[in-house]
Amino acid sequence: MFIRTLTVLSCVLALLSGAACADEASIRAEFLKKYPQANVESITKTPYLGLYEMLVDGEVLYTDADFNYLIVGSIIETKTKTNVTDARQREIEDKKLKSLAFPFEQLPFDLAIKKVKGDGSRKVAVFSDPDCPFCRKLEKDIEKITDVTIYIFLFPIEQLHPKAPEMSRAIWCAPDRVKAWDEYMLKGAAPKSPKCDNPVEKLVAYGQSKKINGTPTIFFADGKRVPGAIPAERFEELLNKASAGKP
């Protein structure tokens, strides 16, 4: 009797699993009919409201089983006041960043502009485009941070900023690279430098090989990779974690 019960239970679970797969497949098909250019990374049944979570181009969305509605926005669990959408988004992003983590010590430091502040004890690397407004914002935000060595890798994105490769070469060829970088990023003063051998093309090819597709991209000493500008407080927090060897 017990074995028969287990067999029936297994069959029911298999049927339910098959139904869920069928629902996910039909939702994907319906979604792609309406949004053929979108990248549907995953579709998962949630434990609330009979909704399905869709991860589309890195963003969490929701839909019903028949794809009659597409919900864009946050779901709040009222008992604990938890934003389950934000929590899920962070979980997905953390997982993605872990998969992109790279051993800090393997970065090509000989191709970097080395900026030492204070005792330079903490270390961080930034792939940065001199004409990227977010890179300039990051530079201003972290201006007061000290006791850090910052390795600046020139990574101009020509498609977005056509003059950035030329400016990157000018900064590299300046007599004082750190000064030229700071003057341009913080004050907008462009260096007038002679031409010289420079690593700019090499760095662009290197960054692309490591799937760096935006600036700034920050690498902390513990291998953590953060795309985009972050506030000084968060930068300091991640520096301290990396220095302490904390995950």
Q: Determine the pLDDT at residue 149.
A: 97
Side chain identity at residue 94, one-letter code? D
Return the structure tokens found at 123: 């270390």
Measured over the CA atoms of residue 103, residue 106, residue 112 and residue 118, the dihedral's sign is positive
CB 32 within 8 A of CB 40: yes
Q: What is the mean pLDDT of each run of 10 residues along the chain (247 residues)?
A: 35 39 83 89 90 89 91 90 89 73 90 97 97 96 95 96 97 97 96 94 95 93 90 93 76
Phi, psi values for residue 103, rounded to 5°: -60, 120
Q: Determine the pLDDT at residue 100.
A: 66
Q: Determine the pLDDT at residue 18.
A: 45
Q: Determine the pLDDT at residue 46.
A: 92
Query: What is residue 147's DSSP assignment?
Result: S
Give the CA count within 13 Å in the CB-facing half-sphere of 234: 9
Q: Determine the pLDDT at residue 5.
A: 33
Q: Determine the pLDDT at residue 239.
A: 95
What domains lie within the chain, and their CATH numbers?
14-99 (3.10.450.70), 104-244 (3.40.30.10)
Under 8 Å CB-to-CB from 202, ≥6 apart: which residues? Answer: 111
